[in-house]
Amino acid sequence: MEGDERQRGGARLTWTGRPPSAAGAGGDSSWNHQRHEGGHHRRGGGGGGAGNKRWKRDDGNGASRHQPRGLREDDEGHLWWDERTNVCTYFQDRRRKWPFYTDARGHVLLKSLVEANAALRNRNLALMRQLGDKMGVPADRVANEGERLYVNKPTLRGDDNVTWSFDEYGHPGLQLYYLKLKSWQRFTETYALLERADRLGAFAFASSLGRPVRIATLGGGPGYELLAMRCFLRDTKSLPDVDIYNTDVQPTWREYSEALGFGFRVFDIHNVTADLCDVCELGTDELDMVVISYVAIYFAKVPGNPQHEAACDMLFKLLKDRRVKMLVVSERSEETPLCSMMERRGCIAERLMDQDMGLDERQSIIVLKERRDEILTKRRLPPGEQRKLEANEATFKNVPFEEHKIKRGGAAGAGGSQTKWYD
Ligand SMILES: C[S@@+](CC[C@H](N)C(=O)[O-])C[C@H]1O[C@@H](n2cnc3c(N)ncnc32)[C@H](O)[C@@H]1O
């Protein structure tokens, strides 16, 4: 489940893939074991379930002991830039305990994320005030309730087995924490995914398309994965015009999505009579990619479950009948059943993370088997080579993080999802 925590052991493994100018040409991209001082090193994970945590207000308690270098670039201390060393430090977790690093390129992208997010944060403040007025409480109380929902995840602790419910996603206080934290996570992960997909030639089709690339999401929420896609295609593929269709079952994401510049449509993945292309008013062969970011656990978690199988049938029809080129999938768990469920239908799930340390299905491109070579035009690197290349070239290194794989013994010790997650 997204966002839950598990106690980590005393040894903390850190990626020291510093940007080249901080570590000399080529960068210092080795894995280090470091002793983490103090006992509060926790990051994500599901073992104990969300219920084992005590919710604390985000008032600085337990905040990072890591003091990033340089200047703070956002109000909340998630983004720091040190021009002297060319190191940009950013945090994706609520208490800023887990530093990640990028260079000037990543810094520019993350600064633009902060700028884009400002409009969403302003709108969110107005919505929290509105709800507060209705309830006769200050907006702060709405924010506190949102933080409680974000950290405690009462729905996850119940029978529904999803992170947050429809109503919780519609709560402006929860939305505040979503905007504050998921913005970093989704943006950097999607960007890293796209760099991996690009190495397989996944966007070669765009140059001969003769029209803008068209991308739709399922369960897109505010749309940070789309923001990353737009930045990536514009900056690295020179595709300034991308048509984007954000969809979600929760209608209140609309105004956030529109504030990012993306049209929004209400679409329920479980509505077997609806067709995503119709909803986007597109014909066959007119939609290129469908992005599924952190939503597969809502509809493709249990093979054999009729509702989940029906949702996969719907995706298969998009690929087969509507000629969507690829599904772009990002998930939390190293075992993401959507991959094998689609493979059973005649697709190939190209798992984009280096598989050298065991199965990792957190990022994938899913295509029809017969279209694989047409769409993924380049060969992948041998296991281990990809990791080396990413250590030097990736914009957002160690995203999604992989320290835990080393800790459990690499491929030899791998088995099942042990992914921990930021809160
Ligand atoms: C974890 S959020 C992911 C949001 C966004 N894709 C991201 O990566 O930040 C899950 C999203 O799935 C949406 N969702 C849940 N069930 C859905 C369904 N049946 N149809 C469409 N969207 C759904 C929720 O409203 C929520 O916005």
Check pocket membership of 293 for ligand 1, CB cut-off 6 A. Answer: yes
Higher pLDDT, 48 or 148: 148
Residues whose CB falls within 8 Å of the CB of residue 385, separated by 6 or more in sequence, listed in order: none
Q: What is the pLDDT of residue 404?
A: 85
What is the CA(92)–ligand 1 centre distance, in A?
Answer: 19
User: Edge-to-edge strands of the sheet including 326-330?
Assistant: 263-266, 242-248, 213-218, 289-293, 326-330, 363-368, 347-351
Q: Does the beta carbon of 203 lie inside 6 Å of ligand 1? A: no
Q: What is the reported pLDDT for 110?
A: 98
Dist. CA 128–CA 119, nearest whole Å: 14
* CA-proximal residue: ligand 1, atom 6 (nearest): 220
Q: Which atom of ligand 1 is nearest to the CA of 2?
A: 1
Question: Exposed (0-12), middle (13-18) or buried (19+): which is 152, by Cβ within 10 Å?
Answer: middle
- pLDDT tier for residue 153 given thresholds of 50, 70 and 90: confident
Ligand 1 contact via 269 beta carbon (within 6 Å)? yes
**pLDDT the model gives residue 322:** 98
Residue 412 has pLDDT above 80, yes or no: no
The pLDDT value recorded for residue 418 is 38
Q: What is the Cα–Cα distance from 99 to 88, expressed in whole angstroms? A: 10
**pLDDT for 269 beyond 60:** yes
Domain spans of the chain, in order of start: 190-393
Å from CA of 248 to ligand 1 middle: 6
User: Higher model confidence: residue 297 or residue 407?
Assistant: 297
Confidence of residue 209 (pLDDT cuts 50, 70, 90): very high
Mean pLDDT within 151-162:
77
The ligand 1 atom nearest the CA atom of 253: 27
Distance 211 CA to ligand 1 centre (A): 28
Q: What is the pLDDT of residue 215?
A: 98
What local confidence, expressed as pLDDT, does residue 32 receive? 33
* pLDDT top residue among 50 and 396: 396
Q: Cβ(421) to ligand 1 under 6 A?
A: no
When pLDDT is cut at 50, 70 and 90, the band that residue 157 belongs to is confident
Question: Residue 152: which pLDDT band, with cuts at 50, 70 and 90?
Answer: confident
**Average model confidence (pLDDT) for the chain?**
84
Q: What is the pLDDT of residue 9?
A: 26
* Residue to mutate (ligand 1; options 164, 249, 257, 301; most atoms within 8 A of CB): 249
Name the residue at shortest CA distance from atom 14 of ligand 1: 219
Q: 179, 248, 250: which to mutate for ligand 1, most atoms within 8 A of CB?
A: 248
pLDDT at 66: 75
**DSSP characters for 211-226?**
S-EEEEEES-TT-HHH
**Structure confidence at residue 423 (pLDDT):** 60
Task: From the CA of 220, give the closest atom in ligand 1.
Answer: 6
CA of 77 to the centre of ligand 1 (A): 27
Task: Report the nearest-CA residue for atom 22 of ligand 1.
Answer: 219
pLDDT for 154: 82
**Taking 50 as the threshold, does the pLDDT of residue 324 lie above it?**
yes
- Ligand 1 within 6 A of CB of 243: no
Q: What is the pLDDT averaged over residues 257-268?
A: 97
Residue count of the chain, please give it. Answer: 423
Determine whether the shortest distance from the Cβ of 262 to ligand 1 is under 6 A. Answer: no
Q: How far is the CA of 24 from the centre of ligand 1 (A)?
A: 42
* Range name among 161-170, 208-217, 299-308 with the lowest pLDDT average: 161-170
Give me the pLDDT at residue 398, please: 95
> What is the rounded average pLDDT of the residues 63-72?
82
C-beta of 219 in contact with ligand 1 (< 6 A): yes
In this structure, are residues 153 and 48 in contact, taking their beta carbons and an 8 Å threshold? no
Question: Residues 279, 265: contact at Cβ < 8 Å?
Answer: yes
Higher pLDDT, 242 or 64: 242
Q: State the pLDDT at residue 86.
A: 96
Output the pTM of the full model.
0.85
Q: What confidence score (pLDDT) does residue 62 get?
A: 53
pLDDT over 90 percentage in the chain: 73
Which helix H or strand E contains 296, and what residues bound it?
A: helix 296-299
Per-residue pLDDT band for 200 (boundaries 50, 70, 90) equals: very high
Least confident of 49-53, 273-277, 355-359, 365-369: 49-53
CA dist., res. 64 & res. 41, Å (int): 10
Whether ligand 1 lies within 6 angstroms of the CB of 248 is answered as yes
**Ligand 1 centroid vs 267 CA: distance in angstroms?**
10
Closest atom of ligand 1 relative to the 291 alpha carbon: 6
Q: At what angle do helices 183-199 and 224-237 cross, to 10 degrees?
A: 40
Domain 190-393 classified CATH 3.40.50.150? yes
- 67 versus 20: the higher-pLDDT residue is 67
Residue 160 beta carbon below 6 angstroms from any ligand 1 atom: no
Q: How far is the CA of 165 from the centre of ligand 1 (A)?
A: 10
Higher pLDDT, 389 or 27: 389
Most informative mutation of 190, 295, 307 for ligand 1 (most atoms within 8 A of CB): 295
Phi-psi region of 190 (alpha: psi -120 to 50; beta: other; left: phi over 0): alpha
pLDDT tens-digit readout, 99-143: 999 999 999 999 999 999 999 999 999 999 999 999 999 999 999
265 lines ligand 1 (CB under 6 A): no
182 lines ligand 1 (CB under 6 A): yes
Give the model confidence (pLDDT) of 173-187 as tens digits.
Answer: 999 999 999 999 999
